[in-house]
Amino acid sequence: MPPPPKNRELYNATIKMFGSQPEPAFESTERQVADWGREWGCDNDVGQIRLVLMHRPGAEFDVIDRSRRINELGSFGDLETGWYWQSDTIPDLAELQAQHDALADALRAEGAEIVYLDEVKGHRFKSVYTRDSSMAISGGAIVSRMAPRMRHGEEQTVARTLAQLGMPIIRTITGSAMIEGGSFAWLKPGLAAIGRGIRVNDEGIDQLREVLARQGAELLVTDLRAYSIHLDGWLLMVDKDLALLDPRGLSYTFLQQLKAHGIRWIEMGADDNAWCVNGLAVRPGRVLMPEGLSERTRAELEDHGVEIVTVPYDKIQLNGGGIHCSTCPLIRDRI
């Protein structure tokens, strides 16, 4: 029932002052700064990097037993304990820490603030690959749901860390969905891609698409080949509309979609270190990556105005993840 006429003016003023205010939207700069203290998240993969989540290798590596060799695979692991090291060489922890520290220092030199995961529980030494357990979108983060058994439970650590930082958690992937951040990429503002495969299923994609759609962003889905794990083994955005990619792991249809959306690319060749595509743009046209680019690919990138900063990372790569895998940008500048 509306108020009587003599009280209507006061009623309308009260509603205007204290009533619901859905606008501006949650992701707007105004609401983010007022309600959450700063503008959180990313809507691109190349803007100036401001805040990065990492995890320095630590005591969780103590579970590794060099006597537990799997000769058939040329690697190490223990099915009962649930750990797996996926190459035939296991570096010392000090070597892993030294390379990880050098990457963190390189990021700080590029203007990034580094924050570290809260205490990692148990034997989850894959936690060094922070890219996978969350994804930054406009206004906050999505907490992933990890696929392999040895990574189950990383979600709690990253959720606790993000909450302590004050970063909004916009969605936690639930149900039987699986999705990992290594298969997610921002191609440009309003356009993202996800690689469907053994670590990302349709339910996970549906939950991701729902969140992005509410922000007006389109999601391209590409099927990864055979047992390929993540999209970031094949694609890296290096500038506003420029990618470095290895076409051997991507479909022709996906390449045509990139082209239709104005994304140019430079193709890696067989003589390039495959880990170079697992680098990290720190600002438009400036990229951190390991050594091993061929002269041809380096020259082509430089001809397109891309600067390359090399960071030794071969020890950490031995367990299946590179520079991109080891960094989860939480805040980037808009482009």
pLDDT digits (tens, 9 = 90+) for 51-106: 999 999 999 999 999 999 998 888 999 988 889 998 999 999 999 999 999 999 99
- pLDDT computed for residue 69 by the predictor: 92
Residue 216 pLDDT > 90: yes
Statement: residue 271 has pLDDT above 90: yes
Sheet containing strand 191-196, strands side by side: 184-188, 191-196, 218-223
Q: What are phi and psi of 45, to 5 degrees?
A: -115, 10
pLDDT tens profile 297-308: 999 999 999 999
Residue 116 lies in a domain: yes
The pLDDT score that the predictor gives to residue 321 is 97
Question: Does 4 fall in a domain?
Answer: no
* pLDDT number for residue 4: 65
d(CA 85, CA 126): 9
Supply the pLDDT for residue 203. Answer: 98
Q: Is residue 289 part of a domain?
A: yes
Average pLDDT, the chain: 95
Model confidence at 157, in pLDDT bands (50, 70, 90)? very high
Tokens encoding 12: 């309308």
Q: Is residue 2 assigned to a domain?
A: no
Question: Is residue 8 domain-resident?
Answer: no
Q: How does residue 5 score in pLDDT terms, banded at 50, 70 and 90?
A: low
Given phi > 0 = left and psi -120 to 50 = alpha, else beta, which region is 267?
Answer: beta
The enclosing domain of 46 has a CATH number of: 3.75.10.10
Kindly state whether residue 254 falls inside one of the protein's structural domains: yes
Domain count for the chain: 1
Residue 233 domain-assigned (yes or no): yes
pTM for the whole structure: 0.94
Sign of CA dihedral 299, 297, 231, 251: positive
Provide the domain limits for residue 282. Answer: 25-332
Could you tell me the CA-to-CA distances from 87 to 64, 90, 240 in Å, in that order? 13, 7, 35
Closest Cα partner for 49 from 124, 122, 127, 103?
103
